[in-house]
């Protein structure tokens, strides 16, 4: 199904279908983007397409298979920059930015397990494109794969914190600044700055710089620079 190759036993005749696998996947992606993966059900997809719930199973066997198809579809459709002519540092920064944009647009992707990804054309295109960031640097094939995993793991971790921060703000109806303003009077009464001097000093500096407890943008920019610096040491050895 990922590669849209019909099974050998597929019937050659039958009633004309009202929808398609691609339409079912697109509807499922819209639901997950809007309301999260928890809102995704075969019934919800059927309602989105104007089908009966049982009719959706004629296109996709179940929710697990549907999620695999969704993930491969967003991988297939994500924009990919032309990496030729860039330095390796620029290439790494570019693939990191592409994945950050993907996760911002499809937050549910950040929470899916990746140890057994859907082996479809979307994943193949994404993987081939991203490996080019490390091509020609003297790395072994295994090191190229590991370097890519390292970069994507960092991007995913920061993206999840950013997503959680946005959800917390939406659920509480409070911005980070408002949340801190509400918590500050209590903290002033119970927090002992002399007992925790580093926490007091550094926390105040970071809070003042970010106007919040955490800045996903700063964490991304700071962390990506450290990731690239770490890779530079490996690459320079080659």
Chain segment 148-206, per-residue pLDDT in tens = 999 999 999 999 999 998 998 888 888 888 887 888 889 889 999 999 999 999 999 99
Model confidence at 8, pLDDT cuts 50, 70, 90, reads confident
Q: What residue has token string 């009077």?
A: 185
Domain-wise residue ranges, the chain = 21-76, 83-237
- Which of 117, 232, 101 shows the shortest CA–CA distance to 158? 101
pLDDT level of residue 210 (50, 70, 90 thresholds): confident
Question: Half-sphere exposure (CA, 13 Å, Cβ side) for 13?
Answer: 0
Which residue matches tokens 């993966």?
37
Pair of tokens at residue 87: 């330095």
Indicate the CATH number of 83-237 among 1.10.357.10, 3.50.50.60, 2.130.10.10, 3.40.50.150: 1.10.357.10
Find out if CATH 1.10.10.60 is the number for domain 21-76.
Answer: yes
Using alpha carbons, list the distances in angstroms from residue 157 to 47, 76, 95, 109, 219. 34, 22, 15, 12, 10
């Amino acid at each position: 199904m990922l590669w849209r190759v019909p099974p050998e036993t597929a019937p050659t005749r039958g009633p004309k279908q009202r929808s398609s696998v691609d339409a079912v996947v697109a509807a499922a992606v819209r639901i997950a983007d809007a309301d999260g993966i928890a809102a995704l059900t075969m019934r919800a997809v059927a309602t989105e397409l104007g089908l009966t719930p049982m009719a959706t199973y004629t296109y996709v066997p179940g929710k697990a298979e549907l999620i695999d198809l969704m993930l491969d579809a967003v991988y297939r459709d994500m924009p990919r920059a032309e990496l030729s002519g860039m330095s390796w540092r620029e290439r790494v920064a570019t693939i990191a930015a592409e994945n950050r944009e993907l996760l911002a647009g499809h937050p549910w992707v950040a929470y899916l397990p990746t140890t057994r990804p859907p082996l479809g054309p979307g994943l193949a295109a994404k993987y081939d494109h991203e490996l080019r960031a490390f091509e020609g640097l003297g790395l072994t094939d295994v090191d190229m794969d590991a370097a890519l995993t390292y970069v994507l793991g960092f991007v995913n971790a920061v993206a999840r914190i950013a997503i959680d921060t946005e959800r917390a703000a939406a659920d509480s109806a409070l911005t980070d600044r408002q949340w801190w303003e509400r918590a500050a009077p209590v903290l002033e009464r119970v927090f002992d700055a002399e007992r925790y001097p580093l926490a007091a000093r550094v926390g105040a500096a970071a809070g003042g710089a970010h106007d919040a407890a955490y800045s996903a943008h700063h964490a991304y920019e700071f962390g990506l620079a450290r990731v690239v610096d770490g890779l530079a040491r490996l690459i320079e050895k080659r």
